[in-house]
Amino acid sequence: MNRSGDRPIPMLAGVVLIVVGVLFLGHAFFQYASIGGDPSYAGAGWRDTYEMRDTARGMLLGLALVVLGILVVALRLRDRLRTPSASREAEKDVAPAPAPAPAPVAAPTPKPAPSPKRSGGGISPLDQVLPRSDDALATLRYFIVDAPDQMLADQCELVRRTGLADWTDEPRCGARRLARSGRWWLVPEGALSSSEDADRVWAVEAALNLGQDAARMTEPPATLDERLRVLLAGVSHLEPVRHPGSRFLVTVTEGADPRGEWAVRAAFADALENLPVPFRMVADFRLNVSEGLLGVRAAVPRPAAFSFAPEAERAALARAYAYDLALLVARTALAASPAIRRVVVNCHEDGSVDCVLSAEITRSSLERMAAAPREGGLPEPSAELRLRPAADGWLAPVAPLLSFVDAQLRPAERYRPVELSDEPCPEAVVRTCGAHRRSELGIAESVVRLDAWERVADDFGGLGDTTEDAVAALSELRASATDPSVVEACERTTRALVSGELDVEDTDDLIECFVGGSALERAVRQAGPLVSAADEQDQEELSRVANLLEDALAPIEASGAYRDDERTAHRYFRSIPERVTYNLDCADGRAVRLVPDAYFLAHQYAAVLERWLALPGSLDRAFAHAERAAELAPCTVEAAIARADCLREMGRTDEALRAVSGAAACCSTVDGLSLCLYRLAGLTYDLGMVEASVACYRRCVELGRAQAEPARHELGLLVEHEHEALAASRLDPAKLTGERLTRVLEGAGLPAGDVGPLSERLRAAAAACTDAKIFSVAHPLLQAYLRAADRRDDALADVLASLGA
């Protein structure tokens, strides 16, 4: 259609052909509609045949014209795209001016080249390739050896100086650009085998980052070493990377006191992780807002990590970087919140807990310390700065100005078990956790015995060196104890000592006997491996352990020790989120008394073992145990599922479905929700609800927890087996997402599996407990929030670590 030497058909002709073709098609379809609507048309006879044939010819001609027009337009567009782009002067119909003859002048100062881009714009080749590589160091070696023009000039040279090209047996690493700071971060597959490997990894990361920074310098010095010195000297004045439009702090701190423990931690962690420092930022912190005190531990690079710098300067650069990093962290903290008034930064080598530089900085001392005269990268030690030069030019370990375990940073009451405190809760905790007293957040019945054991050591001077001393100490404790389980523990441990079963020197065995040495707990420890084993179990062993559980439970049930009444409800909770869910959704005004873990587990395990035995009457016994376990733990998903399994085997699948659906509706964690949806998929399929089963599997896969892979596999089998039914209902499992998935689940009377309300409840509860300084509760709540919201945010991970004991 466009042979060499011929004048090509213009694009306008193609457009005309398309228009004419559309007109022909329109006329033919109109004629076809007229013929079809004519009552006299019978489809037989020469006239009817001629009219229909004429209509068909019109359709074919119109279609041919449209296709031909499209082909012409496409060819002309291709020719335009192949034409080399003209200069801007040519676009303005002005001939480009001839280039002047080069004058013999001195070479200009080399300015770092801009980032290599793709021909049409976009990110650099390094940024495209490195994050996708499963061996980032090998990929970098290729760039610096075989494709240096694909990297920034300074970046390539700095990486080359680290000795990467000659590094043998290097660790296999992935690489990522941190979303917050934009810094490169190498991720080894396993632990680094030596400090030398760690130094090289740190060096390569810093070389990549400093190379980027050098390319952005507006007035760069003449040599790379000079540019390097300028960049490192500016570390103490770096500012967090700003992310316009980010609602991180607004979302995370919603409803919290802006000067409380939660909001201040979030503000500092947010700023810290946004700092574009050249070396990796590895830091954790402790905060005491009531004292205005922040303590930070930060890892600093050793001189060997400065292998991209001249060897004679490395030690001084490393010392200066440690001091500058301390200043930067303090400056960032003081700017993050006015509630922070004093910052203590303890610097340490990566992989070591030994402090090598400790600085205490306030708003009034910050600029003075930054401007202090330096010798070899450091000012003189003072009351605010503790350091000691080592013989090799680096820094020797020193005692920190403030230890991380100091009571100022870690008040003991923040971590005291809530089960032992009847202190009233602030209004925010009442609102978000449903707890009026701290003890109403507790989940561990054994804490009272652990506390009693510690009192033996504190109040009675320990158990002594002889059996007689130990028995005397336990007798004194028994006489003063008010909790029945402590009385029983004293008697049990005394009997073991007197009989010679335990020796006074076997401290660990004594603690185990005192805290968890009942007959019921011993039986549960035997049953646990059987219940969790994947292989088929020996029937005799199943029967023996089931009888063991029955015998251990019998005296407890006969005494009615854990039976509910109008004032007291006996409950078991597997986690803090479960307790919060119970307080908010299930509490009925009765006082909650925690049952021993072993009591709940005995019923739970007995339900499983009896069901597996499949003997006459064993299914009824299994259901009775499952009913009791579900009564004790109304918010524990595993209890609801054990009960549903019994119902299913009893032929009551519809009741099993309601039981698991109810558990899913009030789940306290996303892991529990995923498990419920996985089991609901099987139950709905048993009831012939194919579409609902597909929807449950799809939601389970979306949640991405432990059940996601088996759910994906079983969904594939279901689709293969039920393809006709799914086709008849026009349900495409691959397109069952979003609102349509929610409609299918809700239409079947099932929970939609929305994690939004669940995660927001956890966030609000974690924030309230942090502000109330109940860290033993705040920590697991925040941990559950990060899983529920699928938040892999470094700042929130820092906040989580700051709440740990």
* CA separation for the pair 481, 548 (Å, rounded): 30
Q: pLDDT confidence of 49, banded at 50, 70, 90?
A: low
Three-state SS letters, 676-726: HHHHHHHHHHHCCCHHHHHHHHHHHHHHCCCCHHHHHHHHHHHHHHCHHHH
Residue 506 sits at φ, ψ, to 5 deg, of -85, 75
Location of structure tokens 């941190």: 178
Coil, helix or strand at residue 285: strand
Whole-number average pLDDT of the chain: 88
pLDDT at 389 over 70: yes
Of residues 167 and 60, more confidence is placed in 167
Tokens of 214: 């050098």
Task: Say what the alpha-carbon torsion angle 177, 709, 640, 775 is, to the nearest 10 degrees.
Answer: -20
d(CA 329, CA 344): 9
Q: Average pLDDT of 76-83? A: 47
Burial group, residue 226, by CB count within 10 angstroms (0-12, 13-18, 19+): exposed
711 closest CA partner among 726, 694, 727: 694
The C-alpha atoms of residue 315 and residue 307 are separated, in whole angstroms, by 10
Rounded Cα distance, 793 and 363, in Å: 29
Instruction: Give the mean model confidence (pLDDT) for residues 357-373.
Output: 97
pLDDT beyond 90 at 382 = yes
User: Structure pTM?
Assistant: 0.81
Average pLDDT over residues 514-519: 87
Query: Do the beta carbons of residue 339 and residue 264 sit within 8 Å?
Result: yes
The domain limits of the chain are: 11-80, 125-231, 275-410, 447-517
- Taking residues 217-241, what's their average pLDDT? 96
Give the pLDDT confidence of 275-303 residue by residue, as tens digits.
999 999 999 999 999 999 999 999 999 99
Weakest-pLDDT range from 117-131, 280-294, 768-782: 117-131
For residue 11, is pLDDT > 80?
Answer: no
Count Cβ atoms below 10 Å from residue 792 Cβ, excluding itself: 10
- For 349-372, what is the mean pLDDT? 96
- H and E: helices and strands count for the chain: 32, 9
